[in-house]
Amino acid sequence: MPFGGYANRIAHVDLTTGKVEYKPIPEEWARKYIGGRGLGVRYLLENGPQVDPLSPDNILCFMNGPLTGTEANMSGRMAVVTKSPLTGTVVDSHHGGWSAARLRWAGFDGLIFKGKAEKPVYAYVHDGQVEILDASEVWGKGVHDTVRYFQAKYGEKDLSVIAIGQAGENLVRFACWINEMDRASGRGGTGCVGGSKHLKAIVIKAEKAMPKAADREAFKQAHQRALATIMDEKNVTAPRKGGLSVYGTNVLMNITSNMGALPARNAQLTSFGEKAERISGEYVKSTILVDDPTCHACPVACKKEVQIKEGPYAGLHMESVEYESAWALGAHCDNDDINSIAKLIDMCNDHGMDTIEAGNVLAMYMEACEKGYANGGGLRWGDAAGMIETLRKIAFREGVGNTLAEGTERAAKAFGHPEIAMTVKGMAIPAYDPRGLKGMGIAYATSNRGACHLRAYTPASELGLIPLKTDPLAWEGKGKLTALLQNIHAFSDSLDLCKFSAFAEGPEEYAAQFSAMTGIPFTADDVLKTGERIYNLERYYNNLAGFREGSDYLPERFLKEPSTMPGSQGHVCELDLMLKEYYQERGWVNGVVPEEKLKELEIL
């Protein structure tokens, strides 16, 4: 394949036999689906949408993109792509850090695993080779001890370890892969798929070897242009200038709570009131912050490393207290103790569990207990010690933990009250209430992987973080906005760049960097068309997997229970009106991609 940026080498690993084959990327696929998320989904479609997520026939893809490991800003992302055991949909989940860059430096665009090993194994990736080795000594260990084991074995220098913990081994449906101690490919149960295959870890050893651009001078100019947008002193929303660098993602806690868009007590409320301050980024910075680590090629440094200095969790040192995690294990569970929240996040990282789904399943269980639905179970709102013990039970599937390990939607159904599950397509909501941020309503409903803020980050517009500003309480135009952002993010996820690049960069910057790196002529319009193709490819996969008319919905709470909190008081989410606008923009028929659209986008 005559393109720059790509290693043009995918390792196809059959875990049943231990055989590894090295194959190039089909040139047509690289042109149409780019890399990362898009290319991973194309391999997934080739494998077949009817596969059982936990069967040996499902594939598990670790994919980077053509900008991965280069000087491109925020190019340290890796996409883990598979069929989700939580939702039954296609899922891609990304992590930052250094493993994606090292995978590229080791000579790969991706690793694709199929089959099931007879005993626990790990993949050792180095020098253009993949070895499948015995992982019996680390099976049963948490992520942190697993990482330390491989650091001792291979040395810490130039090493990345991506691992599952006990939750993945025990097939918790929202188990995830953790990269370098605490950077998660969190959503959709990708770690559960790893556990089902007896795949414990991916260990990557590689020195820096920056990919060469097809047009070095053009790439230098494109990179400098993109960096200037991020560092722009005149733009208060630019990632480096704004609160992300100062307070991390948790800068949003007070903002969303004050505008009545922060789900609390399992979304029975839309604000955490005065308690929000005690779990906010500002509070973290003034009390427990100790460092600002960063990912490969990132000038923003949104991670906020913390250390607990007193109380029952004294000595805990971790990275980091993110907004979604602090909300899920904080406001959503009526817990305003930031130290216990840090402890709970650290437990999720060590056991290998999605913090968003974990917080949701705990909040749902708390509501079930409060209303007498949980068969005599008892977990009170804000009970930090009880949350810690329940989280441990989930990871090991003990007692009620066995039920909760199935995920929020299945557990609520087991309690006989599916209406208290704040889920879409089986995946629980993140930290935005669609009664106060209407765009999130249509974004949740139409996300191809279940309730998700990252398919289309509409708060960027509704909170004024990008030039395209909209009213958070207005539904008009949100269908079109969501489709646009879904297309842009599908492309950036395929490059694979951090979402926060989109606070400053746009299709023009993405096109310039991609063109210069690969040598493929590309325009801003090509970016949008390619993103549209990738999003429709995912929807087509889901349609074939059984998600058809009526699959785009929201929990009734958001549609029929008006907000009672300042900022959004009296509002519900007008989903039906937004869906009509969205489907018209997409050219879909009640959520199904018609054949003519598939042909127009050259998917068929």
219-245 pLDDT, tens digit each: 999 999 988 888 775 655 555 555 777
Please give the model's pTM, rounded to 2 decimal places. 0.97
List the beta bridge partners of residue 108.
none
Neighbours of 467 (CB within 10 A): 9
Return the closest-CA partner of residue 61 out of 104, 103, 112, 101.
112
What would the two tokens of residue 221 be?
A: 């100019």
Return the closest-CA partner of residue 487 out of 38, 35, 25.
38
79-136 pLDDT, tens digit each: 999 999 999 999 999 999 999 999 999 999 999 999 999 999 999 999 999 999 999 9
Cβ atoms 404, 411 nearer than 8 A: yes
Predicted confidence at residue 1, as pLDDT, reads 72
Predicted confidence at residue 2, as pLDDT, reads 76
The one-letter amino acid at 404: L
DSSP, res 112: E
Name the pLDDT band for 268 (thresholds 50, 70, 90). very high
What would the two tokens of residue 529 be?
A: 């068309």
Rounded mean pLDDT, 7-16: 98
Cβ atoms 363, 428 nearer than 8 A: no
| H or E segment and range at residue 61 | strand 60-63
Name the pLDDT band for 292 (thresholds 50, 70, 90). confident
Return d(Cα 316, Cα 326) in angstroms, integer.
16
Name the pLDDT band for 467 (thresholds 50, 70, 90). confident
Q: Mind giving me the DSSP string for 280-339?
A: SHHHHHHHTEEE----TT-SS----EEE--SSTTTT-EEE---HHHHHHTTGGGT---HH
**Cβ-count burial of 21 within 10 angstroms (0-12 exposed, 13-18 middle, 19+ buried)?**
exposed
137-190 pLDDT, tens digit each: 999 999 999 999 999 999 999 999 999 999 999 999 999 999 989 999 999 999
Return d(Cα 186, Cα 565) in angstroms, integer.
30
315-348 pLDDT, tens digit each: 999 877 999 999 999 999 999 999 999 999 999 9
380-411 pLDDT, tens digit each: 999 999 999 999 999 999 999 999 999 999 99
Least confident of 10-19, 51-60, 264-273, 306-315: 306-315
Return d(Cα 143, Cα 148) in angstroms, integer.
9
Domains by residue range for the chain, with CATH = 10-205 (3.60.9.10), 243-428 (1.10.569.10), 440-553+574-600 (1.10.599.10)
DSSP, res 456: S
Q: Mind giving me the DSSP string for 344-371?
A: HHHHHHHHTB-HHHHHHHHHHHHHHHHT
Q: Is the CA virtual torsion 310, 312, 317, 319 positive or negative?
A: negative
Rounded mean pLDDT, 353-378: 94
Q: What contacts 277, CB < 8 A, 6 or more positions away?
A: 254, 283
517-575 pLDDT, tens digit each: 999 999 999 999 999 999 999 999 999 999 999 999 999 999 999 999 999 999 999 99
**Cβ-count burial of 599 within 10 angstroms (0-12 exposed, 13-18 middle, 19+ buried)?**
exposed
Q: What angle do CA 71, 73, 79 make, to 5 degrees?
A: 95
